[in-house]
Structure 1
Amino acid sequence: MNTMMTYIDQQYEILKDITSKYNERLSSFASVIREKKAKKWLVLATGSSFNSTLSAKMYIERIAGVKIEIQEPFNFYEYEKISSDTDLILAVSQRGTSYSTIEAIKKCAKEAEVPQIVITSIMDSPIVKYAHEVIDMGCGIETVGYSTKGVSATILTLMLMGVVAGKELGKLSDEDVENELDKIKQLIELIPKTIEKSIEFYNQNKKELDQAQRFTPIGYGPNVGTVKEAETKFTETIRVPTQGFEMEAYMHGPIFELQEDYFVIFTEVVPSTVFERSNKLNHYLSKHCRNVYSISNLPQSENKKHLALDTDLDEYLSPLMLVVPYQVLSYYISLAKGIDLSIPVYSDFGEVMKSKVE
């Protein structure tokens, strides 16, 4: 039987496959960008799809010169209007069954004459009938209800869409495209080692982590998406209160709930302009909380609370790697707590609230 860890382990091969086939899978998207010169994108996504989009957003904007607005679909179709300068709409839904995302894309079809593209992993899912174009994110079906390979596949697909858009909009030369692809491929090669180091980190800190009753992941820049996905994954699987914060936002109120026995996890990248401030906050919190951990690309240290991935890393691409340790931790801690992730919790919820469609 497949487990959440099965899909975590599959990510290396899946991400390599997505990268090797990106030209073919994104050919229709390239045509849309070439024809429409779309520079203001509206992305409709919720849950892990939202987090994945947030993780890729800054990379896409930087290399393609576009502006991305991310909207929660339910709030969008109930209350919002499409901005007059929106020239591309993307709906992201891994399984293609999100009721709110479907309703949001249906609203867009009625109200805007701009290209509407669905990104999904199931090409005959309910949402595809409402799209002008459909992009296969290339991860296949994930039978465990808590996305891991789907998150990484979504982040990578969106980043590759950024590369394609950058080329079609004249922001990237052929040489630039190859450089970006090389960086992505090199990062993917590090995924197996990242999984291995994450398991080692868990085993070194197992006694403490398994007892945690409150997690606060903190990140900055592109990795705000990473810590929001950590929030989603931990609450889904470990089922203890977890809230992911942008570093500066954490200092403006949330810090005051800090307790000595809480668990804080920093997500840090070097080089980055914000690292010194993050590191300063890390040291400050460590004086008031005994469970302050960090995940970074820094070299190995003697501190067992630091998961040091010891590699050069483009900050804007880093969520593709740094989301993996949170996936590993969510699996192992939930396993230690005796939570069987194959058994649905609140199994009648979807039927009662109609959050998914068949």
Structure 2
Amino acid sequence: MKPTMMTYINEEADYLMNMLNNYPTSIPDIKGKEWLILATGSSINAAYSAKYYIEHLTDVKIDIEEPFKFQYYEKLRSTTDIIIGISQSGESTSTIEAIKALNSQKLGIETFALTGNDTSEITQVVNHVVDIEVKEERVGYVTKGFSLTTLKLMLIGLKTAINQGLITDEEEKQELAEFRKAVSKIPAIIEKTNQFFEKWQDNFVKASRFTALGCGSVIGTALEMQTKFCETVRVPSQGMDIEVFMHGPYLEVNRNHQLFFIETNSPVNDRLTRLLDYESQYVDNLYTITLNSSSDERTLGLDLEFIDEYKAPLFTIVPFQVLAHHIAKKLGRNLPQRIYTDFGIAMQSKTKPGNYA
């Protein structure tokens, strides 16, 4: 049988656990204190998902940029000392070209590529190749690769914190133990999401817009929800920080919109709760995804109370991955049937066509 999105979502726990078991030998030593990450699509969303975890643990400042815009319109900070390009396929043209342009300046800055293809084009333009430990996803809508990229970056941050002497060996062990405990719960999260979909599927298929709202560390989750829903559900979808939402986009909401609130163990959760309470006056279908347990029927509780807000993006994305597949299928989207297959080559966004099942 051909693989589906769910094939790869169901593999996530095993692959993530394998990455944790390979730590620290599979994690590179990245020095420097100002990192520039270049990425597009789900790769840039993964970078945002890991950014705050890395910065929380280390003495590193991370800038994240779209490579095309960076190459033609941005300036490289004089203090940047590490450049990281992320491309799961290794074939993202804009990321490759931006790194080439930086190389031509002979800046002497170390460059890294995080990729799932160690023979791809991006590996030819960097000093170091970092394997994100994912086999090829042959459905066109990456899920497992997104999660593995996020964890790889987080573990780079953890190892950097040890190398910088900012955490103890015991604190490192505690971080790894929490990751392992939470990863072991991913199959249960998938099943909870299946049940959540069954309960609310009739509402989901009537949505005229989906919006995911979070704050702080889960901005990567909200952005990846937007990417996945646009790719698969193909109903207008957006993901943003609540502060962005409260300065304009709140004016567009109506009864037919569906809002997801992403709740973490954050000191600013009260703002999220107040926003949900307000929007409940004007939107019929609001849902919450929380790290905690919940008996509320519109809340999907992940039972991860022990996970802090910085690790949260690795786990809060899983329900959106599952829902994207299920809602798309319910709407009759034939995801195995590829559309616009010539787009990547026509627009030169990829170096070659994808190897899809």
Contact (CA 8 Å) 1:116, 1:132: kept in 2 or not? yes
Task: Answer yes or no: is 1:173 the counterpart of 2:174.
Answer: no
Match of 2:87 in 1: 93
Are 1:10 and 1:149, in contact at CA under 8 Å, matched by a contact in 2? yes
For 2:232, which of 221, 224, 237 is the aligned residue?
Answer: 237
Task: Give 1:201 shift.
Answer: 0.6
Runs of 4+ in structure 1 off by over 3 angstroms are none
Instruction: Identify the match of residue 145 of structure 2 among 150, 156, 164.
Output: 150
Alpha carbons 1:205, 1:304 under 8 Å: kept: no
Q: CA deviation at 1:343?
A: 1.6
**Residue matched to 2:355:** none
Q: Is the Cα–Cα contact under 8 Å of residues 291 and 312 in structure 2 kept in the other structure?
A: no
Q: Which residue of 2 aligns with 1:10?
A: 11
Which moved further from structure 2: 303-312 or 110-119? 303-312
Q: What corresponds to 1:121 in structure 2?
A: 116
Greater fraction of residues in helix: 1
Which residue in 1 is equivalent to 2:333?
339
RMSD across aligned C-alpha pairs, in angstroms? 1.0
Residue 132, structure 1, aligned to residue 133, structure 2:
no
The one-letter amino acid paired with 2:269 is F
Partner of 2:251: 256
Query: Is 1:164 aligned to 2:164, yes or no?
Result: no
- Bigger Cα displacement from structure 2, 341-350 vs 277-286: 341-350
C-alpha separation in 1, matches of 2:220 and 2:344: 26
Give yes or no for the alignment of 1:348 onto 2:353: no
- Cα distance, 1:126 vs structure 2: 1.1
Instruction: For residue 239 of structure 1, give the secondary structure of its aligned residue in structure 2.
Output: coil
2:299 aligned residue: 306
The answer to whether 1:207 aligns with 2:199 is: no
The alpha carbon displacement at 1:253 in A equals 0.5
Gapped runs of 5+ residues in structure 1?
none
The answer on 1:184 being equivalent to 2:172 is no
Q: CA deviation at 1:310?
A: 2.6
TM-score by length of 2: 0.96
Query: In 1, Cα distance between the equivalents of 2:97 and 2:204?
Result: 40
Q: Which runs of no fewer than 5 residues in structure 2 stay unpaired?
A: 353-357
1:292-331 mapped onto 2 (5 Å cutoff): 292-301=286-295, 303-312=296-305, 313-331=307-325
Q: Deviations for 1:123-156, whole angstroms, at most 9, x for unmatched residues?
A: 1111101110000000111001001000100000
Aligned positions, number: 349
- SS of 2:85 mapped into structure 1: strand
Q: CA deviation at 1:248?
A: 1.2
How far the C-alpha of 1:299 sits from its partner, in A, is 2.0
Aligned to 1:67: 61
Shift of 1:24: 2.1
Equivalent residue for 1:55? 49
Residue 289 of structure 1 is matched in structure 2 by 283
**2:206–2:256: 8 Å Cα contact kept in structure 1?**
no
Q: How does 1:218-229 map to 2 (within 5 A)?
A: 218-229=213-224
Q: Which residue of 1 aligns with 2:75?
A: 81
Q: SS in structure 2 opposite 1:244? A: strand
Q: Which amino acid aligns with 1:9?
A: N
**Other structure's SS at 1:243 match:** strand
Could you tell me which amino acid in structure 1 is paired with residue 141 of structure 2?
A: Y
* TM-fit CA distance, 1:298: 2.5
Which of residues 91, 98, 122 in structure 2 aligns to 1:104?
A: 98
Distance 1:115 1:304 in 2: 50
Q: Which amino acid aligns with 2:142?
A: S
Contact 2:255/2:284 (8 A) holds in 1: yes
Superposed displacement of residue 171, structure 1: 1.1
Alignment deviations for residues 211-268 of structure 1 (CA, whole Å, 9 cap, x no partner): 2121011011110110000000000000011011101111000000011111111000
Give the AA of the match of 2:242.
M
| Aligned-residue offset at 1:338 | 1.1
Corresponding letter in the other structure for 2:24: N
Normalised by the length of structure 1, the TM-score is: 0.96
- For the Cα contact (< 8 Å) 2:294–2:301, is it kept in 1? yes
| Distance (whole Å) between structure 1 residues aligned to residue 70 and residue 57 of structure 2 | 27
Measure how far apart 1:7 and its partner are: 0.2
The letter of the residue matching 1:281 is L
